[in-house]
Amino acid sequence: MKVLYSTLVLYAILGLSALARAQSPVVEKVEPPNWWIGHTIDPVRVLVRGANFDGSVIRSASSGISVSNLKVNSRGDYLFVDVTVDPKATPGDASFTIATSKGDAVVPFYLDPPLDSRANSQSITNEDVIYLIMTDRFSDGDPAINKEVDRRNPRAWHGGDFKGIAKRIPYLRELGVTAIWLTPWYDNPDEASQCDKPWCPNTNYHGYHAIDYYGVENHFGSMADLQALIQECHRNGIKVVQDQVANHVGIQHPWAKRPPLDNWLNPFSQNTFNNSVLLSPNSSNAERDNLIKGWFNELLPDLNQDEPEVSRYLVQNALWWIGKTGIDGIRQDTIQYMPRAFIRDWSAAIKKQYPNYWMVGEVFEEDSAQTAFFQGGRKGWDEIDTELPSVFDFKLWRTSQEVFTGKKPARALRDVLKYDGLYGNIDNVTLLTNNHDTDRFMSLKDATLEGAMMHTAFVLSIRGIPQLYYGEEIGMTGGHDPDNRGDFPGGFSGDPKNAFTKTGRSPDQQRMFEWVREWIKIRRSRLPMKQGRTIDLFYDNDAYVFARESRLGNTSAWNIVAFNNGGSGKTVSFPSPFPRGRNKLLTVADSRAKAEWSDEKMTLVLPAKSVSAFGYAPE
């Protein structure tokens, strides 16, 4: 009996002890997990997820930080705290403690040395040619991390990863691109999304359903793998752009069930995508609210950037990725569906730490006025300058596709370019050949290889920053999503052809590859192509001829680019943009073209279905 009594007492003591421990603070996740000494964000707002935070106080024994401005949510499972970093702090452990009457919990936190932006974070400029890669579909470099891979299913994981991209750096260098944009590498759910739409079940290989803003997608590799890729790219003269998604998260994110604040997410309402109401000063608040607060669908909870804690979290997250990895630019997904005041604050915070940093926003609207409204450099009707360096020129992209598939006359290109004055900085606008949300050129109705070549040459010769899409340089096909996200041939074990090599390409693939490579060389070697102003010289149904001019002290360098989309040769004449004198006009593309000019007039003889470029510089 004594033994039984003692055992019961012991069990009671252990039970009470376990209960006490259960009521002690519990730390599950810390965001951000580290920060930098001497950063422009100071204090940094730290979000702690866990349990039993009611009645908390915060204590720090580290001389390198001080903690203040504590806030605990209504459920006691999220805690916000400001961490101020001493400029003289020593890098290393700066953990602090959450204390309640029930017990204590340590919050792991680390200080890193001041950032050296000279080593990384180079930013994107007009000197660059960007190459968009969907990581899962490009190249498999680490089969050991493959799981749930089914390459026969276009909506499943296919096995591409960071090491696979690193393996293809020689190919990228041969092509001549100077920057790669990778679709999101946040951690996404392993399990497929389920819904009653045609695209379900659908895995999250694309990366746009984040469940951890501070985690790396395990299908792609580790944080160390990502950092190694970026470092290897930098060693090879290639910059890296991260695709960020501040508008929404995936439905499997912990916030969907346990939001840090009651207003952290906007209540569900279906977005109508009536995007023009964002541009119009006459729209009702209800219309604008639907665009800003509405969900894309039931799988993508919409974040409320009007809540200061949400805004601060997202700004810090963007800066954390730059500091942690050394990325050189950010592509911000679905940016027009966030408040313009947030876009301004987000852009300004990044540029405060990195004054010349490049960010491009996706304003997927084929309306020059709409896209220009979101680029920084001037205030809109709402008195907000977004300070956003770049937006995609979807209108000119679409028109180029239409012209070079025969649906519109060549003069339509000029008719879009006439709106360049709407933009705050037209030279910083990003023009795409295609992307992961659009049908590939070679799958468009009436597409030809010659048309694809001309479309690419136009993107690489006109103003702005050019962005290519993986596989377009070999004429890959693919219609609507997910067909437009096919695997790059040769990137995966068992592929019958390896288009990363000359011997693995068909004659048409090789012809397209050489064409793209040559036009990248032309652009990168000719200053006016990169930085010149655009001057219309001639346009009609078949032809569009323009000049790019760059000032060189008291003189100018010129390039003339002439497109003849007609089925037969064409001779065009126009007033000479510069005097003949002793200057030379050199053909730099398509030697079949001819040019004659005097001080008054220039005449070009252009072959059918051709692009001709001429370089001019004073002797």
Confidence grade of residue 599 (pLDDT, cut at 50, 70, 90): confident
Q: Which CATH architecture has domain 24-112?
A: Sandwich (2.60)
As a whole-number percent, the residues of the chain with pLDDT over 90 amount to: 85
Residue 396, pLDDT > 90, answer yes
* Residue pLDDT, tens place only, 562-578: 999 999 999 999 998 87
Residue 496, pLDDT > 50, answer yes
Residue 3 pLDDT: 43
Rounded to whole angstroms, what are the CA distances from 414 to 84, 461, 545, 566? 53, 14, 9, 16
Confidence grade of residue 8 (pLDDT, cut at 50, 70, 90): very low
Residue 589 pLDDT: 79
By mean pLDDT, which of 113-122, 159-168, 402-411 is the weakest? Answer: 113-122
498 touches 490 (CB < 8 A): yes
> Could you say which of 2.40.50.100, 3.40.50.460, 3.40.309.10, 3.20.20.80 is the CATH number of the domain covering 130-250+305-525?
3.20.20.80
At which residue do the structure tokens 């200061």 appear? 308
Residue 330, pLDDT > 90, answer yes
291 touches 302 (CB < 8 A): no
* Residue pLDDT, tens place only, 87-108: 999 999 999 999 999 999 999 9
Q: What is the mean pLDDT of residues 574-588?
A: 76
* Residue pLDDT, tens place only, 401-410: 999 999 999 9
Q: What is the mean pLDDT of residues 217-233?
A: 98
Residue 14, pLDDT > 50, answer no
Residue 582 pLDDT: 53
Residue 305 pLDDT: 98
Nearest to 289 by CA among 270, 261, 262: 270
Alpha helices in 306-381 (DSSP H): 308-325, 340-353, 368-374
* Residue pLDDT, tens place only, 429-480: 999 999 999 999 999 999 999 999 999 999 999 999 999 999 999 999 999 9
- Helix crossing, 449-461 with 507-525: angle to 10°? 10
- Across 395-434, b (16+ Cβ under 10 Å) vs e yields bbbebbbbbbbeebbbbbbbebbebbeebbebbbbbbbbb
Residue 7, pLDDT > 60, answer no
Surface-to-core class of residue 10, CB atoms within 10 Å of its CB (0-12 exposed, 13-18 middle, 19+ buried): exposed
Q: Other C-beta atoms within 10 Å of 376: how many?
A: 24
* Residue pLDDT, tens place only, 26-50: 999 999 999 999 999 999 999 999 9
Q: Which CATH architecture has domain 531-617?
A: Sandwich (2.60)
Q: What is the mean pLDDT of residues 148-166?
A: 96
* Residue pLDDT, tens place only, 509-525: 999 999 999 999 999 99
Confidence grade of residue 301 (pLDDT, cut at 50, 70, 90): very high
Residue 194 pLDDT: 80
Kindly state the DSSP code that residue 120 receives in the 8-state scheme.
S
- Whether the pTM exceeds 0.85: the reply is yes
For the chain, which residues make up each domain, given as ranges? 24-112, 130-250+305-525, 531-617
Residue 583 pLDDT: 62
Q: What is the mean pLDDT of residues 120-133?
A: 92
Q: Using omega within 30 degrees of 0 as the cis cutoff, is the peptide bond preceding 25 cis?
A: no
Residue 600 pLDDT: 87
Asked if the domains at 24-112 and 531-617 fall in one CATH topology, the answer is yes
Residue 591 pLDDT: 82
Comparing 375 with 555, the larger pLDDT belongs to: 375
As a whole-number percent, the residues of the chain with pLDDT over 70 amount to: 95
Rounded Cα–Cα distance for residues 65 and 68 (Å): 10
Residue 18, pLDDT > 80, answer no
* Helix (H) or strand (E) run with residue 7 in it: helix 2-23
Residue 590 pLDDT: 81
* Residue pLDDT, tens place only, 361-394: 999 999 999 999 999 999 999 999 999 999 999 9
Confidence grade of residue 598 (pLDDT, cut at 50, 70, 90): confident
216 touches 187 (CB < 8 A): yes
Q: Other C-beta atoms within 10 Å of 154: how many?
A: 18
Edge-first strand listing for the sheet containing 92-93:
34-36, 110-112, 92-93
Residue 426 pLDDT: 97
* Residue pLDDT, tens place only, 304-323: 999 999 999 999 999 999 99
Q: What's the mean per-residue pLDDT of the chain?
A: 93
* Residue pLDDT, tens place only, 251-287: 999 999 999 999 999 999 999 999 999 999 999 999 9
Residue 19 pLDDT: 45
Give residue 606's identity as a one-letter amino acid code: L
Residue 5 pLDDT: 42
Q: Helix, strand, coil shares of the chain as percentages rounded to 5? A: 30, 25, 45
Backbone dihedral angles phi then psi of residue 589, each to the nearest 5 degrees: -155, 135
566 touches 608 (CB < 8 A): yes
